[in-house]
Amino acid sequence: MIPRSQLEDRGIRDPRVLAAVRAVPRHSFVAPDLSPFAYEDRPLPIGFDVTISQPYIVAAMTELLHPQAWQRVLEIGTGSGYQAAVLSKLCREVYSVERVPELATQSAELLGRLGYRNVRVRTGDGFEGWPEESPFDGIVLTAAPVELPDTLVAQLARGGRLIAPVGEADRQELVLVEKNAAGSVTQKVVFPVSFVPMLPDGN
């Protein structure tokens, strides 16, 4: 169980998000030898030079997204599948793109085995998104591009939100992008973060 000190005491307030994060068995998304550390508030390696994010960051990004039960959400960077599992409890459909074929296969199989039926995973270039299924009501990036890709902003529906870590490795910030009903886009910085870099397919 993830303690209050990691979530509520650090400002996570949405009861739906708190319930979803606590309902997902994080230990199932890490290697067996790391399962004793699964509920600590830190990222853990999952291979291929990527990590599973700490519970607080997953909860904070999810809360900023304001996911609703009727929404369709795009995730860039499936990784272990943990963030997708949390989103699946809050949204109608989750589309997740992973550039590492092995991780895409592993996470798709794990999500299916655990019963997360409303998540679709495919191997691809995150910078391209999933254009044929766009627009999306929400988009979340789990790796940091140096600059926010225009292709992903274009796939955000009017009234939608996009959450992304953005910046160089030594200076990243979590950015909230909102697109209003008229299609105008605004951005604001939320807080400093540290994520693995977002790489194009094949790198």
Give the residue numbers annotated as catalytic, written as ranges.
53
CA separation for the pair 130, 39 (Å, rounded): 31
| Long-range contacts from 26-34, C-beta under 8 angstroms, 24+ separation | 26/2, 26/52, 26/55, 26/82, 28/110, 28/114, 29/80, 29/81, 29/82, 29/85, 29/110, 30/80
CA separation for the pair 24, 20 (Å, rounded): 6
Is the Cβ–Cβ distance between 103 and 142 less than 8 Å? Answer: no
Q: Which tokens sit at 73? A: 């959400």
Q: Which residue has the tokens 């699946």?
A: 88
Strand order in the sheet with 185-193: 119-123, 93-98, 72-76, 136-141, 156-168, 171-179, 185-193
Antiparallel, parallel or unpaired: β 136-141 and 72-76: parallel
